[in-house]
Chain A
Amino acid sequence: MNYPIEEKEEMLVIRLNGEIDLEKAPLLREALLEALDRGYPLLVEMSKVVYIDSSGIASLVEALQNARKKNLELTLISPSPRVRRVLELARLDKVFTIRTEMGNFTP
């Protein structure tokens, strides 16, 4: 399963879904880094993620570091309770910018 990327108003949205574990994490990592290569701020929509673990979190962390290097913003949008719980366990809930809404971005 791929993670669709949408482009709008100088911004990119990537929609994550399903279960992100060691099987899917490499795909996620690639998708995030490719999106950042386009040079736009990135919104990572996570409301449909039903499972994520350290391998998925590692992909997000790597993407965040990459975005900072490129001086781009990376925002997690509407993470599901499961994602929030794992971010809290990892003490990363304060590290990522998390928003519950897409803001002015409407698909």
Chain B
Amino acid sequence: MRPLPVRRIPAVFLLALLVVLSGCNDPALTKLAKALNDTQIAMKGLQTSLITANQQGLVSDGAMRPIMEVCVKVDSAGLQATQLTRQLTKLDKVTSTQILGVLTPVIAAVGSAVVTGPLQITNVGLRDKVTLALQTIQTGLNTAQIIVAATAQKGT
């Protein structure tokens, strides 16, 4: 019989611990990931609706352009926030502050777009749809902001 593989024991249990821990998600991190994913889903709905409406002549290029410019900002910020979040196993103060820096200007832009963006859309049904989509996006971004702000303040 071979000698007891004593040297392998700590490594194996460390591996087991790592494997088990990798299945555990920080609740704040999961909530943030869900808020970001909800935002991208709402963005997809908004952009696709607008582009289809534009192709059908329901919304002019001029009315649509400011909203699409906000969409680029939100998509870029969402992508950045997602990539920052991906590096983490637990939401920490430094990364939370970075994510806040990415999200805060975009939240202001969406807030402004909710008020002014749909005004130029003459089709009432589309205007309501765009307003609702922008509000959903605002909610998703606000949720993400609240989560990261809480971690940034706690300093964990």
A and B form one complex: no
Chain A residues within 8 Å of B, Cβ to Cβ: none
